[in-house]
Amino acid sequence: MSRLTATTALVTGSTDGVGRLVAVRLGEAGARVLVHGRDRGRGEHVVREITERGGRAEFLRADLATLAEVRRLAAAVEGTTDRLEILVSNAGIGSGGSGASRRQTSADGYELRFAVNYLAGFLLTHLLMPLLTRSAPARIVNVASAGQQAIDFEDVMLTHGYSGTRAYCQSKLAQIMFTFDLAERLQGTGVTVNALHPATYMDTTMVRQAGVTPRSSVEEGGEAILNLAVSPALANRSGLYFNGLREARADPQAYDRDARRRLGALSMELTGLDGGSEGGTRSQL
């Protein structure tokens, strides 16, 4: 990886797993890394690891299950740096773990995986867009998954037929749909946005909580994420979905402009970006 001494990067969910590896690697390459997570102790440990290797890093705490915390994180980023060249939206909740068999909701009343895996990144990206465009050329990387399920717009919050797997796969497809739409809107700004499935069943806490035997390493997934974040070959390419290091096709709904329009309008409402009250309304859910 080339030297990144003039680069600032925010990696959400970077106190564990592949996010941590990406943060450390960016720090080793000279980038100033904004480490994000919910646990201050683990976050400060990652910061020490980066600084002990000669890098620069700060920890920003936020629980992305709360839209108010997402807004606070964006404000903290803007208060910490006047430049942001890389945003890696990696934080998320898997399909397994405690409570996965029953439907859970976020602090704002939304289905938890849709809220954390998708809405939080949607809102954070919008709030940081002025900073990213001022810092152009800049890149946004959305860490999605090959596990994707078409969104049922009659029951986005999965009040019927809930399963953790369905919730996870829907949230990951939503990330990809957002990526495609955002890439079109960002044409000519110098900011690119791409999504990827980093690797299949990496050896992470998320995978082990799902009761799945790991099939790949965090190093493999980290390499794929870093490819989108820093590879010169992708400097001007945007609106792509990758499976590892290869460009791939996502679920057909990702290419449905009407479905993407519906998702975008709903997301603006739910996050309060449409000018309505914080968190939007729940009457249509």
At 285, which amino acid appears?
L
Residue whose tokens read 């709030």? 127
CA distances from 17 to 89, 202, 222 (A): 14, 9, 9
Q: d(Cα 49, Cα 57) in Å, to the nearest integer?
A: 9
162 is catalytic: no
> Pairing mode, if any, of strands 138-143 and 246-247?
unpaired
- Catalytic residue among 110, 118, 168, 241, which? 168
DSSP secondary structure string for all residues of the chain: ----TT-EEEETT-SSHHHHHHHHHHHHTT-EEEEEES-HHHHHHHHHHHHHTT-EEEEEE--TTSHHHHHHHHHHHHHH-S---EEEE-----S-STTTTS--B-TTSSBHHIIIIIIHHHHHHHHHHHHHHHT-SEEEEEE--S------TTSTT--SS--HHHHHHHHHHHHHHHHHHHHHHTTTTTEEEEEEE--TTBSSHHHHHTT----B-HHHHHHHHHHHHH-GGGTT--S-EEETTEE----GGGG-HHHHHHHHHHHHHHHTTTSSSTT---TT-
So which residues are the catalytic ones?
A: 168
